[in-house]
């Protein structure tokens, strides 16, 4: 079966969030189980400049101007690049300029992505055509619409990585994008008077997936549905909505083979893990103290991620002798608040504004607790890295966090099911109680190590598992 993934990010070449990690792993996992999985992506400089030996497939005139379709391979995955320098040859983010303003021509930049994906199911490459077009997030949503309005035979799957971003543009562009009038309606891609690329994916796809089972349920509710919950409930009723949990790339994230950490270890020699904590404390200028409970957060600094709750509870961590390390970047007021906390508690709190892939590995390998207190979380990967590395996740019960972390209750500990700390309300008090439970378990070394071991021994969070589940879905379509 020929599967085409349509996306806008690809780890390690171009990453702004978890979507890139998925696209860097899922196609390769699918190839390993016998699918011919390929990727189509805009030829952003970070991608085009790092894929060698690109070959020209064809030149095409499109509504967005003349475009070249290139073909290459990266780490064993076949990749089509849409080479349109007037659209994609820009430094920095693929979505916005240095002032964080979305590019004014994003409507064409990402409509073209969907258009090319649909044509790759209809002979654009004379040597290969897609049986299934698998579109990811709003940037690729129009792929599903083009397949439907052109009556192409390929099936479409649309994966929601984050429903909060809807890709909204003026209906003025409808004809410019070669979309028919009838598509601009409530039974189509219209969303409160705008064209929504996300709505296009949700309405026209043969099947919708989210990146965790719980998030698939949550987005059918008013709290998480962003005004699309009615449509999503209908798709769920039609059995066209399901959740498939992300995996982690064990070639990148495995403490037994990770070259970025101070000392490699596995579940059978957890004592070696302490060297990573010591090295992390030294690197960050914290007192080297094994008995200090070391919390960490590696995250985008946004309201969604619940980092404002962490700021409120830092005094509780400090008062109990804990330490805290932050690695992240995002909203300026959150960055300022964390930097202020570092000034307030210089012995206990260390803040690194920015993103550093190497340092993120060292943090996960050295911290005792990894905090993911999100208000909503489609899947989350940081808690999976924590489980793999023996850093107990402290998470809010939502989305993929609810699916992957079991609270260290006495009952769960007794049944070897405890893997972290879970709180339910997005409030400082609820988080504070989870922090206190972490300190309590920290005082019980035997039980703490049992939770680490049980977390590290899990095998369900693999890309092979996810790849097989997607393969079954494609086959059913």
Question: What are the tens digits of pLDDT across the range 103-152?
Answer: 999 999 999 999 999 999 999 999 999 999 999 999 999 999 999 999 99
Query: Which contiguous run of DSSP H or E holds residue 353?
Result: strand 349-353
The verdict on 343 and 441 lying in the same domain is yes
Q: What is the pLDDT of residue 92?
A: 77
The answer to whether position 254 is within a domain reads no
The verdict on 120 and 216 lying in the same domain is yes
The verdict on 85 and 223 lying in the same domain is yes
SS3 297: strand
The verdict on 214 and 274 lying in the same domain is no
The answer to the question of whether 277 is labelled as a binding residue is: no
Q: What is the pLDDT of residue 458?
A: 86
Contact 308, 340 (CB under 8 A): no
Whole-number Å distance between alpha carbons of 109 and 87: 6
In terms of residue numbers, what domain contains 8?
A: 2-247+463-476
Q: What is the pLDDT of residue 249?
A: 86
The verdict on 211 and 295 lying in the same domain is no
The verdict on 319 and 175 lying in the same domain is no
Handedness of CA 280, 281, 283, 284 (dihedral sign): positive
Contact 369, 394 (CB under 8 A): yes
The verdict on 325 and 405 lying in the same domain is yes
The answer to whether position 256 is within a domain reads no
- Count of structural domains within the chain: 2
Q: What is the pLDDT of residue 99?
A: 82
Enter the pTM of the model: 0.90
Whole-number Å distance between alpha carbons of 55 and 467: 28
Give the residue with greater pLDDT, 371 vs 164.
Answer: 371
């Amino acid at each position: 079966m020929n599967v085409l993934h349509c996306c806008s990010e690809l780890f390690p070449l171009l990453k702004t969030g978890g979507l890139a990690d998925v696209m860097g792993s899922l196609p390769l996992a699918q190839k390993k189980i016998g699918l011919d999985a390929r990727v189509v992506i805009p030829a952003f400089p970070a991608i085009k400049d790092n894929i060698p030996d690109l070959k020209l497939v064809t030149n095409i005139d499109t509504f967005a101007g003349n475009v070249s379709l290139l073909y290459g391979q990266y780490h064993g995955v076949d990749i089509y690049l849409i080479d349109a320098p007037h659209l994609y040859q820009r430094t920095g983010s693929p979505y916005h300029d240095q002032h964080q303003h979305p590019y004014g021509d994003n409507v064409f930049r990402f409509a073209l992505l969907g258009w090319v994906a649909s044509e790759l199911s209809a002979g654009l490459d004379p040597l290969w055509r897609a049986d299934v077009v698998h579109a990811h997030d709003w940037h690729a949503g129009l792929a599903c619409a083009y397949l439907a309005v052109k009556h192409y035979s390929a099936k479409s799957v649309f994966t929601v990585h984050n429903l909060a971003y809807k890709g909204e543009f003026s209906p003025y562009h409808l004809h410019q994008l070669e979309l028919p009038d009838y598509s601009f309606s409530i039974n189509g891609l219209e969303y409160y008077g705008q064209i929504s690329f996300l709505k296009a994916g949700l309405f026209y796809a043969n099947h919708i997936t989210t990146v965790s089972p719980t998030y698939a349920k949550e987005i059918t509710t008013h709290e998480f549905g962003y005004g699309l919950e009615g449509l999503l409930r209908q798709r769920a009723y039609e059995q066209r909505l399901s959740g498939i949990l992300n995996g982690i790339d064990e070639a990148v994230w495995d403490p037994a083979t990770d070259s970025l950490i101070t000392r490699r270890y596995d579940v059978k020699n957890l004592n070696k893990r302490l060297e990573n904590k010591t090295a992390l404390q030294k690197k960050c200028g914290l007192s080297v103290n094994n008995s200090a409970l070391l919390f960490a957060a590696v995250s985008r600094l946004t309201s969604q991620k619940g980092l404002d709750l962490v700021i409120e509870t830092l005094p509780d961590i400090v008062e109990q002798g804990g330490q805290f390390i932050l690695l992240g970047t995002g909203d300026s007021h959150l960055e300022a608040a964390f930097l202020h906390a570092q000034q307030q508690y210089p012995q206990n709190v260390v803040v690194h504004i920015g993103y550093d892939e190497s340092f993120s590995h060292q943090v996960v390998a050295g911290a005792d607790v990894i905090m993911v207190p999100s208000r909503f979380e489609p899947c989350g990967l940081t808690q999976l890295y924590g489980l793999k590395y023996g850093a107990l996740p402290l998470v809010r019960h939502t989305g993929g966090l609810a699916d992957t972390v079991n609270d260290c209750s006495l009952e769960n500990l007794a049944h070897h099911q405890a893997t972290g700390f879970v709180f339910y309300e997005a409030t400082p008090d609820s988080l504070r109680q989870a922090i206190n439970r972490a300190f309590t378990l920290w005082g019980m070394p035997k039980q703490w190590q049992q939770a680490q071991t049980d977390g590290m021994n899990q095998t369900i969070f693999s890309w092979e598992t996810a790849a097989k589940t997607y393969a079954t879905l494609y086959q059913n379509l």
